[in-house]
Structure 1
Amino acid sequence: MEKQRMNEVPSAKKLIYNRIAEQGVVSKAELMAVFSFTSSTLSRLLDEMVTDRLLLTSGLGPSSGGRRPILYEINPAYGYFFGLEISRRYSALGFFDMRLNPMSFTRWRMDEAMTPTQFVEHAANNIRSILNDHQIERRQVLGIGVGAVGPLDREKGVILRPLNYPAKGWTNVPICSLLEQATGIPSRLENGANTALMGEHWAMRSENLQHMLYVHAGVGLRSAMMSNGRIVHGSLDMEGSIGQMIIQTDGPRLHDSGNYGALEAFVSVQALEKQARSHAKMGRDELLSAYNVTPEQINYDLLLRALSHGNAYVSELFLQSAAYFGIGLANLINMFHPEKIILGGALLNSHEQFYDTAIRIARNNTYYYPEYQPSFSKGVLQEDAVATGAALMMRNALAI
């Protein structure tokens, strides 16, 4: 690794801290091999960080011929973070120490009653309960990271105009200020696809991945990209724009707006519901008779039940959707050339065949295959990725 040069002590401490956080336990000699410091300067910085309780000494390492080296690790109890996921089907709240060890996780369904006001009240009540359970004071919590469905104004902490929330009112919601008013804890907003990728990158840090792609297929389609170890932000925070990728020029569109033949019209919870309802109205009655429902009562939960029961028609719906998803993935891969692609969301977890079909189609349509073969994964953190990445974002923003 190329040595990093720093000019001011605060930024130097932060880089040292991040390095120790990533490695777990580190000796001074290992830090000397990474950063361009004199031995005395590095010793002083480490001593100051131990005094400030940012770091702990962790015994002595093996000797390489001289005195055994002191080992350093970050202090898990220096402070704590909440990571909050705001999504359209489920939301989640995680509580983490400085090492990003999850101390608590809770999830709840986003139904028609979960308006922004109700959501903030529910989250704040859970935060109070968690702190009480762990006997931790609010002042010890350093922040709430929020990963939400876009579009967003990240700088102002506002959820702008997301589609398809079950409850009303999720337009121009100043979520960070609402959370801060309800809890007294500072908050920061990022789109959920980005925080999911941050979380998975952290969980896979031993692989030293630099170029990653994250794609979430659920109620909508979301994506995030990392280049040289950093999240790529566009001029607009439109994480759902992948759904507008045109894969069939004369194809349908999902809503009254958006592109015709867009990926979301073939690969989303809503697309599957729309297709099944349309087929039922045209005479496909196996779902209607098997579950005693009308076409309008066909929803994703019912489709999952039919899929688990081996319904051939529903299986074909999901596999067709997976094939289209694979084509969309191939387009993204051919543009970005990532090392690893993380796939998440309700559709990817609906059935193993959906995942397998999607990556097979993607591989077959990847340019330079088989010479270039990115790896695919459902991730390490999976459904915990958004909240974990949101907490990591807050730790990364900590001034040291």
Structure 2
Amino acid sequence: MYKAQRSVPSHKELIYTQIAEQGTVSKAELLDRHKLTSSTLTRVLEELVTEGLIQETGLGPSSGGRRPILYQIHADYRYIFGLEISRFSSTLGLFDMQLNQKSLVRWRMDEAMTPQALVDYASQLMRTLLRDHRIEREQILGIGIGAVGPLDRSSGMILDPLYFAARGWTQVPICQMFEEATGFTAFLENGANTALLGERWALRHEDIEHALYVHAGVSLRSAMMSYGRIVHGTMDMEGSIGQMIIHTDGPRLSSAGNYGALEAYASIQALEHQARSHAKMGQDSLLKAYSVTPEQLNYEVLLQALSAEDPYVRELFQQSAVYFGVGLANLINIFHPELVILGGALINSKPMYFQTATETAKKNTYYSPAYEPRFSKGQLKEDAVVTGAALTVRNKMRI
């Protein structure tokens, strides 16, 4: 059963974690990795099997003697809810212990989706999913929440994020609200961090230790991983990458932002602001084509125009991608990751955006071509945050 969280993992936890990471593993492989005697490891494996945490899954190939027993974690030992809270949409997923999706539900975050409305809606969805999959409440390990920042992970509080359509997203005790509504333990983490955790999980067999994740959408968000662990700063300010100054006398996106900050050039808000300003100064082709006022020039209209190969809009996105690539190069030159994963609405708007941004980043990487990280849109893409949120719950399980 579960015990209070400890700072030092037990032998059982270490063995369980490796089996979970590898998928299927033999006793010999576990002995090679951990400094345990054969008798101690045998006892640990027997306890894990008896408690239902792992199971024997057949025999491996022989290396000259008896074929080894293979182990994997028990997928149905418990189940986990993962929740993404974002500005455009939110997602609830139900996962087994192997992080397989049982169900996934996504909905828009409109003006009516206040914190309480979201908790009520997601809690009802959880009850429905449990009923549909015939899962008892006692089988739920917890709720992992990946949310936009800034936030306070230790207190489970979303602080004062910008750009939510609904009111009330300030000083939100989101973990407490979900625990009271569902009775399940809830854990909060930055959405960029959970996205990186989720993507690394999908690539776990590649043994990547140093990775960078950058999300480009309504705002810019980032996460870093070093030696397989998320790098947490003193403050959980995932959006601070947007305040990277790339033009000292440039504009700023909001009264609280830096002048010449990256977010003023490479974000959905920046694109909308530029299009509206240009429309008011005479660039009225979009107004005529889509029968809108300057104030109605939102991202959806820009996407329609981009899909229609409008040259003006294509240039807007192209310039945005170049600036984004410059900011990305700055991060790469500081951190030197093996892998750079890019996500978000801008990255997925058109292949051109990803291509231009990565080409610009490569050109401005200091040690190129001797050093060049691998660029990817990730394996999980829009499901990365919710998967990583579920993974944070499993990682906190104490045996």
- Return the TM-score normalized by structure 1: 0.97
Residue correspondences, number = 393
Q: Percent identity?
A: 66
Cα shift readout 1:155-197 (whole Å, capped 9, x = no counterpart): 0000000011010000000000101111111100000000000
CA distance in structure 1 between the aligned counterparts of 2:241 and 2:362, rounded to whole angstroms: 19
CA distance in structure 1 between the aligned counterparts of 2:26 and 2:296, rounded to whole angstroms: 62
Q: 1:198 aligns to what SS in structure 2?
A: helix
Cα shift readout 1:63-121 (whole Å, capped 9, x = no counterpart): 22222211111000100001100000011011100000011111001111100010101
Cα shift readout 1:41-64 (whole Å, capped 9, x = no counterpart): 111110011000001011111222
> Are 1:48 and 2:62 matched, yes or no?
no
CA distance in structure 1 between the aligned counterparts of 2:241 and 2:150, rounded to whole angstroms: 13
Q: Which residue of 2 aligns with 1:255?
A: 254
Q: Which residue of 2 aligns with 1:71?
A: 70
Q: Which residue of 1 aligns with 2:180?
A: 181
1:257 is aligned with what amino acid?
Answer: A
Superposed, 1:172-211 pairs within 5 Å as 172-211=171-210
> Are 1:153 and 2:152 matched, yes or no?
yes
Q: Which residue of 1 aligns with 2:234?
A: 235
Q: Which residue of 2 aligns with 1:170?
A: 169
Superposed, 1:54-65 pairs within 5 Å as 54-65=53-64
Q: Which residue of 2 aligns with 1:366?
A: 365
CA distance in structure 1 between the aligned counterparts of 2:168 and 2:357, rounded to whole angstroms: 35
Q: Which residue of 2 aligns with 1:382?
A: 381
CA distance in structure 1 between the aligned counterparts of 2:254 and 2:207, rounded to whole angstroms: 41
Q: 2:81 aligns to what SS in structure 1?
A: strand
2:41 is aligned with what amino acid?
Answer: L
CA distance in structure 2 between the aligned counterparts of 1:190 and 1:57, rounded to whole angstroms: 33
Q: 1:33 aligns to what SS in structure 2?
A: helix
1:330 is aligned with what amino acid?
Answer: A
CA distance in structure 2 between the aligned counterparts of 1:9 and 1:302, rounded to whole angstroms: 52
Q: Which residue of 1 aligns with 2:100?
A: 101
1:162 is aligned with what amino acid?
Answer: P
CA distance in structure 1 between the aligned counterparts of 2:8 and 2:272, rounded to whole angstroms: 56
> Are 1:29 and 2:43 matched, yes or no?
no
Q: Which residue of 2 aligns with 1:117?
A: 116
CA distance in structure 1 between the aligned counterparts of 2:35 and 2:138, rounded to whole angstroms: 36
CA displacement at 1:150 relative to structure 2: 0.4
Q: Which residue of 2 aligns with 1:292?
A: 291
Q: Which residue of 2 aligns with 1:339?
A: 338
CA distance in structure 2 between the aligned counterparts of 1:62 and 1:213, rounded to whole angstroms: 37
Q: Which residue of 2 aligns with 1:224?
A: 223
Q: 2:10 aligns to what SS in structure 1?
A: helix
CA displacement at 1:139 relative to structure 2: 1.0
2:65 is aligned with what amino acid?
Answer: G
CA distance in structure 1 between the aligned counterparts of 2:169 and 2:112, rounded to whole angstroms: 12
CA displacement at 1:9 relative to structure 2: 10
| Distance change (3 Å), C-alpha of 1:118 and 1:9 | closer
CA distance in structure 2 between the aligned counterparts of 1:337 and 1:67, rounded to whole angstroms: 45
CA distance in structure 1 between the aligned counterparts of 2:255 and 2:234, rounded to whole angstroms: 25
Where has structure 1 moved over 6 Å in runs of 4 or more? none
CA distance in structure 2 between the aligned counterparts of 1:118 and 1:10, rounded to whole angstroms: 38
Q: Which residue of 2 aligns with 1:279?
A: 278
- Return the TM-score normalized by structure 2: 0.97
Which residues of structure 2 form unaligned runs of 5+? Answer: 1-6
Q: Which residue of 2 aligns with 1:3?
A: none
Q: Which residue of 1 aligns with 2:395?
A: 396
CA distance in structure 2 between the aligned counterparts of 1:256 and 1:55, rounded to whole angstroms: 54
| Distance change (3 Å), C-alpha of 1:269 and 1:10 | closer
Which residues of structure 1 form unaligned runs of 5+? Answer: 1-7
2:123 is aligned with what amino acid?
Answer: A
CA displacement at 1:10 relative to structure 2: 6.3
CA distance in structure 1 between the aligned counterparts of 2:25 and 2:105, rounded to whole angstroms: 33
CA distance in structure 2 between the aligned counterparts of 1:377 and 1:20, rounded to whole angstroms: 27
CA distance in structure 2 between the aligned counterparts of 1:115 and 1:63, rounded to whole angstroms: 59
